[in-house]
Amino acid sequence: MIVLGLESSCDETAAALVADGREVLADVVASQHDVHRPYGGVVPELASRAHVVNVVPVLREALARAGFGLERVDGVAVTSGPGLVGALLIGVQTGKAIAWARGLPLVGVHHLAGHLAAVYLEPDPPPMPHLALLVSGGHTSLVRVEDHGSVVELGRTRDDAAGEAFDKGAKLLGLGYPGGAMIDRLAATGDPDAVPFPRAMTAASAGDDFSFSGLKTALLHHVRAHGVPDGQALADLCASYQAAIVEVLVRKTRRVARRERLSHVQLCGGVAANRGLRAAMRAAGAADDFAVYVPSPARCTDNAAMIAAAGYHALVRGERAGLDLGAVATVPLPTRSAG
Ligand code: KG4
Ligand code: ZN
């Protein structure tokens, strides 16, 4: 079954064609980073306009790369939330138009269900059940994945998401937007022990939730006291800041994996592209004897192949959206209650 995936929840316009939720036939992403960079963050109105301009060329490019037309497509999967409503609507309307015109089944995909499905596009995906650390620009959660479409959330951030901590930190350091990848790059040559940053909520008694807003404040205080450094000192500051985020994510994941007796752990969402996090989680897995699965960096950040993969499983389960499918800004990942 060939599924067309469409993604437009934030600042990437993406279309992909995926066979059976596993084999990527085409995967095209048009990033709007250049549009939003001058403003230091995503401007919703500009995002919507850029999606309008990009969506048809991106779709055409995906079909051209796959080497066939819409007549070979068996279903349409589109991100319907959460995200920026005006941005989401462009993908949703496009998906509905194609489904209606070609008489194809349509399904609305939760953006985070898409992130969780990205690892199934890799040659060696994790078995069920497994633990997932979902770290993106808007979300930070630890979830037990029982099956496709069946997850239990065990912990989540109480304030900023991990990606927000990266982006806000980068903004404070004048590194531009989006800042996660910039901090990653600078951290590679820095000393992670140069500046002591807090590791919030890491005591066992703190439970499975995360908090990153204090870290951002600590960086603000550091910058107020010492200014923004350059050269090696900037690399050291980035490495120290990144290490604080990574250590909290890894410590909590280890503890939950042990407690839940889950020996397979996947990382997903844009922050899973971070080299420090990938290496630290792999080291933790080797020490604690759990297997670590991470999508390729390009499939950690937003893309439509992951939406097509999640959509495939939803279609197989018999889920269908009507032409009244809408876009929703905030919607929890459909979960089973824990316990
Ligand atoms: O999943 P994603 O593309 O969009 C959302 O669903 O939010 O995640 C974007 C987030 C941004 O905060 C970005 O700075 C962060 O992922 N990110 C990174 C890296 N690449 C992207 N953070 C740290 N290191 C990276 N290499
Ligand atoms: Zn995302």
Q: How far is the CA of 231 from the centre of ligand 2 (A)?
A: 31
Query: Is the confidence at residue 339, as pLDDT, over 60?
Result: no
Query: Is the confidence at residue 337, as pLDDT, over 80?
Result: no
> Minimum-distance ligand to the CA of 307?
2
**107 CB-near residues (< 8 Å, 6+ apart):** 75, 76, 77, 78, 311, 314, 315, 319, 320, 321
For 109-126, give the DSSP string.
Answer: EEHHHHHHHGGGGSSSPP
Alpha-carbon span 311 to 107, nearest angstrom: 6
Distances from the Cα of 94 to the Cαs of 8, 66, 114, 186, 267, in angstroms?
10, 19, 18, 39, 30
Q: Please state the atom number of ligand 1 nearest to the C-alpha of residue 178.
A: 14
> Minimum-distance ligand to the CA of 163?
1
Query: Is the confidence at residue 120, as pLDDT, over 50?
Result: yes
> Minimum-distance ligand to the CA of 137?
1
Best residue among 275, 301, 307, 330 to mutate for probing ligand 1, ranked by most atoms within 8 Å of CB? 301
Pocket residues: Cβ below 6 A from ligand 1: 10, 136-138, 163, 166-167, 178-181, 184, 269-271, 273-274, 301-302
Q: How far is the CA of 215 from the centre of ligand 1 (A)?
A: 17
For 143-193, give the DSSP string.
Answer: EEEEETTEEEEEEEBSSS-HHHHHHHHHHHTT--SS-HHHHHHHHTTS-TT
What does the pLDDT look like over 133-180, one tens digit per residue? 999 999 999 999 999 999 999 999 999 999 999 999 999 999 998 899
Alpha-carbon span 279 to 110, nearest angstrom: 28
Q: How far is the CA of 303 from the centre of ligand 2 (A)?
A: 8
**pTM to 2 decimals?**
0.97
